[in-house]
Amino acid sequence: MIWPFKPRFQKQIARIEITGAIGSATRKRVLDALKTVEEKRFPALLLRIDSPGGTVGDSQEIYSALKRLREKVKIVASFGNISASGGVYIGMGAENVMANPGTITGSIGVILRGNNLERLLEKIGVSFKVVKSGPYKDILAFDRELTEPEQHILQELIDTSYQQ
């Protein structure tokens, strides 16, 4: 939220809070709030971040919007209890970042997790028949191990996302 929305007679600072996992709902809310900060010509923005991270694309969009807004508005990020991964990424869009000594601050990283339930499914007698249009359409299927080519594809995907 941006506070305050009251008519301003003096210069005031906008505040946006980013809490919890970062996803499409967070991105939409924050981008709308940043647009309001720009339209209402706030001189500065305090960005309060208390997030373990989230999706790469949503974090990138918020970061990019902050970098653009930074040309017009002074932006300071403040990390709360936790700021990791996408939370740190977004914070880098600010001119300055502050954190408490007790703030848990993690690295920017990318993770992709899949489960292999193959042995469990065998024990209970469940099997699957798969018909697919390409060799990698079921790349994270939970009923089998990843093949070496699949492992390579996913590692490249993670590495590319991380390099961005």
Task: Please give the full DSSP string across 105-156, using - where no structure is assigned.
Answer: E------------HHHHHHTT-------SSTTTTTT-TTSPPPHHHHHHHHH
Token duo for residue 60: 């990138």
Known catalytic residue at 85 = yes
Known catalytic residue at 107 = no
How many residues does this entry show for the chain? Answer: 164
CA angle 81, 83, 88 (to 5 degrees): 155
Write down the catalytic residue from 28, 35, 40, 137. 137
CA distances from 39 to 19, 43, 87 (A): 24, 11, 25
CA angle 106, 25, 98 (to 5 degrees): 35
The answer, yes or no, to whether the previous bond of 7 is cis (omega within 30 of 0) is no
Write down the catalytic residue from 85, 107, 123, 133. 85
Active site positions, annotated: 85, 137
